[in-house]
Amino acid sequence: MALLHVENLRVDIPMGNSPTPDDMLHAVRGLDFEVERGEMLCIVGESGCGKSLTSLALMDLLPRKAKRTATRLTLDGIDMLTQSERRMCDLRGNRLAMIFQEPMTSLNPAYSIGDQLSEVLTQHRKVSRKDAMARAAQMLEKVGISNATERLGQYPHQLSGGLRQRVIIAMALMCEPDLIIADEPTTALDVTIQAQILRLIRDIQKEFGLAVIFITHDLGLVARIADRVAVMYAGEIVETAPALQLFENPQHPYTKGLLASIPIPGKTKPGEALGSIPGLVPSLVGEQQGCAFRNRCGQAVDACAQNIPEIMRDGHMARCLFAAPGPEPTRQQAQLQQGSARA
């Protein structure tokens, strides 16, 4: 049984004070996916496709005007659509936790690192402050921060960006949650620190048996860490598959376009032009019918303007009339996967 079940998740945002249905921004449009225990699911897509709003919807932390609806949203059998705000506060930080993109704005500058870490535990467990601080020091050491006891008394501005992100990871681990959502957790860091944080998240996931939803726009990164991948475009998931299968045999034209835009180590020559996707992302205001990618797709036919079926085979789903999921790698795509895995 999957840990997290999501069916028909939508996020709608009214535009203006008295919006009509045609003035509604449909930012997330009917997502269906599951996350197994101990699995790393990467949600990938370009900026504005709805990745971050999806994470906030799962945490029930959407902006005030945004409306979340779903047919089903359960975590380990708990219906998160019917929980009170108090109960959701009990779940957040306890059963599910989030690692945000910018650690400096995620930490309170007026409180010490120790105070902020220990508060997570005392809010959800009946423990003394002394025991909570001991746990905080233990978690700082777990995420690779030396002199943990000394760090407990420091404030966020006294730490580097990489150390602050490690503190956020330690905070997420304080209550040993079942699921962690990581929203672009390495974007604000330099390349060397990015690699360290990625390795840390993967190691922590394996050690604690955590389920992780990792949100990113970087397919090269996805190739290194994902168990499964969900590709988002214009508020929809257009393709999902086990990671290796997606890189070896992409089925949706948008996924193929993304992969064509990535340099292949040892194959792409210096100065060689990479692939690009022509056209613009469609407006998300008002209801849409058919494939949202059709106006940018070289394969599009008139039928693409109608409702598009989800074609599924061997755990590989693609929302495309021309999809034929199956493990049929091309040489170039296999080289991409192998090169990314080595990076």
Looking at residue 331, its pLDDT comes to 44
Give the H or E element holding residue 224. helix 219-225
Q: What is the number of other CB atoms lying within 10 angstroms of the CB of residue 263?
A: 14
> How would you class 321 by CB atoms within 10 Å of its CB: exposed for 0-12, middle for 13-18, buried for 19 or more?
middle
Enter the tokens of residue 333.
């795509």
Separation CA 154–CA 116 (nearest Å): 11
Q: Residue 251 in contact with residue 326, Cβ under 8 Å? A: no
CA-closest candidate to residue 77, choices 95, 56, 55, 51: 95
Those residues whose C-beta lies under 8 Å from the C-beta of residue 19, and which sit 6 or more positions away, are none
For the chain, report the end-to-end CA distance as a whole number of angstroms.
34
Looking at residue 18, its pLDDT comes to 67
Looking at residue 43, its pLDDT comes to 98
Low-confidence ranges of the chain (pLDDT < 50): 329-343
CA-closest candidate to residue 232, choices 249, 245, 213: 213
Looking at residue 272, its pLDDT comes to 80
Looking at residue 314, its pLDDT comes to 86
Separation CA 203–CA 199 (nearest Å): 6
Enter the tokens of residue 131.
């025991």
**Paired strand residues for 229:** 42, 241
The strand pair at 236-242 and 316-318 is best described as antiparallel
Separation CA 213–CA 201 (nearest Å): 11
Looking at residue 343, its pLDDT comes to 44
Sign of CA dihedral 297, 303, 306, 308: negative
Those residues whose C-beta lies under 8 Å from the C-beta of residue 40, and which sit 6 or more positions away, are 202, 205, 211, 212, 214, 225, 226, 227, 228
